[in-house]
Amino acid sequence: MVRWIFVDYEKCSGCRACEVECSLTHEGIIWREASRIRIVEPLPGITIPVVCVQCTEKYCMKSCRYDAIYLDSDEVIHVDSQKCTGCGSCINACPAHIPIMHPQDSYVLICDLCGGEPACVDVCSSLGYEALKVVESDTVNRDLYLKNVEEIAEEIFKKIYGEV
């Protein structure tokens, strides 16, 4: 079974509590720019959570020439910050450009599911939004979530406002 974070885009309020909680968990401070989940607003009022879906192809890992990206025993992506050179090949290899560079140091940031209990999911759930959920499944095609954010935003915009 593969664990990953399912995003219900229509339930996201854009509160950014997930970014805050992620940065607190990983960096020890509130630092949204160092969060492994990001909230982007490609269209006014349409907020999209962007987080690694632990895709089947592992594009980021396959592109890394330095073996800095690896899978743990639970098949979850991790980054060895000591091996990562900050070359960006993993960012370019990801169809949705989900990995980001650490804002201060030269290594990439990718969601590691916080050891199995993602802080972003917990805070989203505790606030009642339920936009993020941990899913354990081999049957759902996670690669469907590798769209670019503009395409996702346009789909949501059409659902809410219809054709404009």
The domains found in the chain, sorted by start residue, are 3-161 (3.30.70.20)
**Distance (Å, rounded) from C-alpha 80 to C-alpha 131?**
29
Sign of CA dihedral 106, 93, 138, 39: positive
Phi, psi at residue 86, to the nearest 5°?
75, 25
How far does CA 88 lie from the centroid of its chain?
Answer: 16
Query: For the chain, which residues score pLDDT lower than 70?
Result: 164
Q: Using alpha carbons, select from 4, 111, 99, 110 the residue that is nearest to residue 55.
A: 4
- Look at residue 164 in the predicted model and tell me its pLDDT: 60
- Look at residue 82 in the predicted model and tell me its pLDDT: 97
- pTM, 2 dp: 0.92
Cα 5 to Cα 32, 48, 88, 118, 131: the distances in Å are: 19, 14, 23, 8, 10
- Look at residue 124 in the predicted model and tell me its pLDDT: 98
